[in-house]
């Protein structure tokens, strides 16, 4: 294990110290890194020779780095190029699994790769695919009807001007297939007087990216399937970067960690089953020093929960976010 792995020099694993402090009581076990990316979390965990990491990532570009990890850490590291919603399909033994980790952010490599079109600084054909996709942003913008675009921008981008932006896109695409720079121009015209710290196109690009990568159902199914394979006493740790992700994670942990009566006049027969133990009820945020060194971390929130019982019925979670899943299902029109 003497070989050195050169990671992206500008890559900073968000809330790394906080995450390690959470899983440290479980040190000496096996952990699943559901978003391997640049390998920051995996590398830190593997500093302890008694640990093993099972890493997964939907991005095929991660395979090259994963191969280097495999060469260095031998039998302590395993990788599969799959979506984390398919975590239960991993061909490994989950018997000694101690924790599952999700970092829902994007690596600097992905953002800098302008062919992906994740950044509004990109040019050319719309893409936004993170891997193992069935359609791209190009089909989304140039083929979906106006009402569908409105729902995507409203619910996934929480964009107030979703109607007029959708209308302008449909009007402009009659002349030609729209590219990344065309979307930026349309948004800039619609929001010409808007003063904000974030780029005017941020919410629209977020909405398209979530839709293209089906991130809502990915996250919900990833959380549920990770829970099902995790032994009692194991921990699920999730780092989110926008409010939609955080609402899903917060509901998942909180709803299944509290016994709730439907009515104070009824007996406890109607309570939810308590399957999680929460140590911190509020999210853990980056320190001011981390934000200074890595501005990309400013919106990060870390939540975690310890599994204390088994459960097969997650109907409430699906029901709670049914409206978001229905927007994702607009992809059936493509």
Strand blocks (E) in 65-135 = 77-80, 97-103
What does the block give as tokens for 139? Answer: 């089909």
> Does 16-109+216-309 match 134-212 in CATH topology?
no
CA pair distance 244, 276, nearest whole angstrom: 21
Sort strands 97-103 and 30-33 into parallel, antiparallel or unpaired: parallel
Residue of higher predicted confidence among 11 and 306: 306
Instruction: Give the end-to-end CA distance of the chain in Å, rounded to a whole number.
Output: 48
Fold category of 134-212 in CATH: DNA polymerase; domain 1 (1.10.150)
Strand blocks (E) in the chain = 30-33, 52-56, 77-80, 97-103, 235-240, 276-277, 301-307
Q: What is the Cα gyration radius of the chain?
A: 21
Rounded to 5 degrees, φ, ψ at 231 are -65, 160
Q: Is the pLDDT of residue 269 over 70?
A: no
Which residues are bridge partners to 52 per DSSP? Answer: 30
Taking residue 129's Cβ as centre, other Cβ atoms within 10 Å add up to 21
pLDDT score recorded for residue 10: 55
Q: Is the pLDDT of residue 72 over 80?
A: yes
pLDDT band at 268, cuts 50/70/90? very low
Residue of higher predicted confidence among 93 and 327: 327
Q: Where do the structural domains in the chain lie, given as residue ranges? A: 16-109+216-309, 134-212
CA pair distance 302, 246, nearest whole angstrom: 9
Say which residue the tokens 């097969």 belong to: 312
Q: Is the pLDDT of residue 104 over 80?
A: yes
Say which residue the tokens 């260095």 belong to: 72
Q: How far is CA 311 from the centre of its chain?
A: 23
pTM: 0.93
Report whether 307 contacts 226 (CB < 8 A).
no
pLDDT band at 194, cuts 50/70/90? low
CA pair distance 19, 278, nearest whole angstrom: 15
pLDDT score recorded for residue 95: 77
SS3 for 277? Answer: strand
Sort strands 52-56 and 276-277 into parallel, antiparallel or unpaired: unpaired
Report whether 57 contacts 131 (CB < 8 A).
yes
Please provide the CATH number assigned to the domain covering 16-109+216-309: 3.40.50.150
CA pair distance 29, 39, nearest whole angstrom: 18
Mean pLDDT (the chain) is 91
Maximum separation of any 2 CA atoms in the chain, in Å = 65
Mean pLDDT, residues 234-261 = 92
Q: Is the pLDDT of residue 261 over 60?
A: no
């Amino acid at each position: 294990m003497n070989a050195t792995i050169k990671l992206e020099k500008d890559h900073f694993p968000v809330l790394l110290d906080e995450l390690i402090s959470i899983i440290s009581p479980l040190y000496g076990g096996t952990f699943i890194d559901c978003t391997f990316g640049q390998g920051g979390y995996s590398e830190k965990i593997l500093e302890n020779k008694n640990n093993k990491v099972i890493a997964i990532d939907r991005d095929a570009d991660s395979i090259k780095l994963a191969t280097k990890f495999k060469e260095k850490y031998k039998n302590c590291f395993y990788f599969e190029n799959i979506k984390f919603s398919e975590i239960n399909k991993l061909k490994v033994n989950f018997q000694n699994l101690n924790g599952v980790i999700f970092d829902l952010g994007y690596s600097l490599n992905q953002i800098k790769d302008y062919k992906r079109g994740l950044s509004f600084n990109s040019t050319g054909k719309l893409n936004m695919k993170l891997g193992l996709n069935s359609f791209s942003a190009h089909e989304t913008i140039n083929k979906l009807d106006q009402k569908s675009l409105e729902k995507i921008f409203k619910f996934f981008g929480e964009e107030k001007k979703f109607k007029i932006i959708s209308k302008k896109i449909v009007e402009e695409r009659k002349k030609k297939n729209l590219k990344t720079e065309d979307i930026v121009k349309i948004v800039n015209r619609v929001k010409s007087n808007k003063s904000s710290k974030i780029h005017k196109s941020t919410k629209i690009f977020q909405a398209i990216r979530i839709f293209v990568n089906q991130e809502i159902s990915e996250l919900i199914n990833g959380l549920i399937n990770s829970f099902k394979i995790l032994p009692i006493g194991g921990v699920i740790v999730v780092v989110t970067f926008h409010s939609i992700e955080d609402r899903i994670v917060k509901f998942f942990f909180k709803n299944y960690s509290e016994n709730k009566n439907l009515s104070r006049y009824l007996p406890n027969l109607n309570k939810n089953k308590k399957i999680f133990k929460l140590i911190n009820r509020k999210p853990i945020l980056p320190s001011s020093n981390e934000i200074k060194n890595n501005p990309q971390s400013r919106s990060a929130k870390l939540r975690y929960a310890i599994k204390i019982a088994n459960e097969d019925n997650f109907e409430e979670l699906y029901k709670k976010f049914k409206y978001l899943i229905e927007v994702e299902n607009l992809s059936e029109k493509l």
